[in-house]
Amino acid sequence: GDSVTQMEGPVTLSEEACLTINCTYTATGYPSLFWYVQYPGEGLQLLLKATKADDKGSNKGFEATYRKETTSFHLEKGSVQVSDSAVYFCALRKYGGATNKLIFGTGTLLAVQP
């Protein structure tokens, strides 16, 4: 079945370091891909999305490119801040018919130290 695999955390970085969180997916058809972020004690917030191959989603300095050839959607940021500390979830969603749910990875905890 469809699935999402994320790199395990925690990822610990110093402020201003570069971030990459790996995400790969398995799915038939052409899913849309998402990154959601969850701050401590809160629900999920949409960070960015891409709906087709080669699309790049970006928001708040984060970006991810939909790579169909490698079935990947890695999250990147050039310079992280302490305020970026959170859990990041990669997810896919297919459309059409009765398939309309988000499938999430297990999440990657990012801890940024000052």
Partner 1 sequence: DAGVTQSPTHLIKTRGQQVTLRCSPKSGHDTVSWYQQALGQGPQFIFQYYEEEERQRGNFPDRFSGHQFPNYSSELNVNALLLGDSALYLCASSLAGAGRTDTQYFGPGTRLTVL
Q: Which two tokens stand for residue 57?
A: 């989603």
Q: Is 114 in the site for partner 1 (CB under 8 A)?
A: no
Q: Closer CB to partner 1, residue 7 or residue 17?
A: 7
Out of 19, 103, 110, 112, point to the residue binding partner 1 (CB under 8 A).
103
Q: Is 82 in the site for partner 1 (CB under 8 A)?
A: no
Phi then psi for residue 84, to 5 deg, are -80, -5
99 and 17 Cβ atoms separated by less than 8 Å: no
Q: Which two tokens stand for residue 100?
A: 């309309």
Helix (H) or strand (E) holding 108: strand 108-113
Shortest separation between residue 95's beta carbon and partner 1, angstroms: 6
CA-based R_g, the chain, Å: 14
> Taking CB under 8 A as the criterion, which residues in 14-53 touch partner 1?
32, 34, 36, 42-46, 49, 51-52
- Cα–Cα nearest to 88, from 57, 52, 114, 62: 62
Shortest separation between residue 89's beta carbon and partner 1, angstroms: 6
Note the residues at the interface with partner 1 (CB under 8 A).
4, 32, 34, 36, 42-46, 49, 51-52, 89, 91, 93, 95, 98-107
